[in-house]
Structure 1
Amino acid sequence: MSRKALLRRELLASRRLLSIEDVENAAEVLAAAASALPEVAGARTVAAYVSVGREPGTHALLDTLRARSVRVLLPVLMPDNDLDWAAYEGAEHLVPTGRGLLEPDGVRLGPGAVLGADVVLLPGLAVDRRGMRLGRGGGSYDRVLARLSAAGANPALVVLLYDDEVVARVPEEPHDHPVDAVVTPAGARHFTPRDPA
């Protein structure tokens, strides 16, 4: 098993120990901290995602952004694991899929819709001191990041995590891309190329 796979297993096991109350309390704090992040506070369009299970919660944040008249784009997983996007129109417009996800029921905007985002919120399992993110391993967001890079788009990349998921170092591969900031219940941290390894 790879170092990434082992770390993913450990982090997911830690998340399974969280109570639903822990997850809900953290989600409220994350919503406040993320919406106060300067990049998010000034954004017109945010590409986000709908948290599921014991992931750091995004539901409160989605509603906060929508209440501020921010255009929120949510992913729609395509059969090849790439992501299409649709606008968030409220929790009542989220529908369960056969993959355990909640997706918006609105008009599909195409994979390129993410190019118009000022901020992209990325799901993850960990981030290290350099800003390198460990995802779940499906590759969907690697495609999003490659699409942004190829188009010369430069939105702020932000990951939402629990406090203990900011680690010393995550294994990386050549295609991995650092994020600009992490938001945890303890607060936000920005990364720069000068951050120590």
Structure 2
Amino acid sequence: MNRSEPLLQVFDLSVEVAKRRVLQSVSLAVPAGALVVLMGANGSGKSTLGMTLAGHPAYRATHGHVRFGGQDLLAMSVQERARAVSGGERKRNELLQLALLCPRLAMLDEIDSGMDVDGVRAAVALIGRLREQGTAFVIVSHYLQMIEALVPDTVLLLDRGRIAESGDLALARDIAAKGFARSDALAQA
């Protein structure tokens, strides 16, 4: 992998699930140590993007390229992708794996879902430590307070399977104000 090349590159990715196109021409780049937050209404394609990047067999890329660490993920087998991309099914297991493995890239889908305030605080602290060590993150979240605590480098708004907007924390606040995000996760904190 070229040092100037982003850790994760997605080029013009389109995905079909059950013969229905759910992602259309998505492109993004994630440098090492960056934190990218995916936001959007339910059904906008956030989780589909994460599942596709993680190699879930039900999510089939019909067009585009995905490169991780210089390797073409779409050309890799499910087993090869599982070794290249960390993650677990349960939220706390994901965090434990992150703490133990210190991966180069972590994709987390609503890790704050079902967690108490202390769990969310611990997740934010762990993500911060791992970022300092160079781990890049792509995180799906609806919770504005968590997003603010994470201080993302990039916020992407997905709408009907496409990246509709790209920005920084100000975009996340604007999205929350329009009702695409819940703003109560850390309200008790």
TM-score band, normalised by shorter chain = 0.3 to 0.5
Bigger relative contact order, structure 1 or 2 (CA pairs below 8 A, ≥6 apart) = 2
**TM-score relative to the length of structure 1:** 0.39
- Higher strand fraction (1 or 2): 2
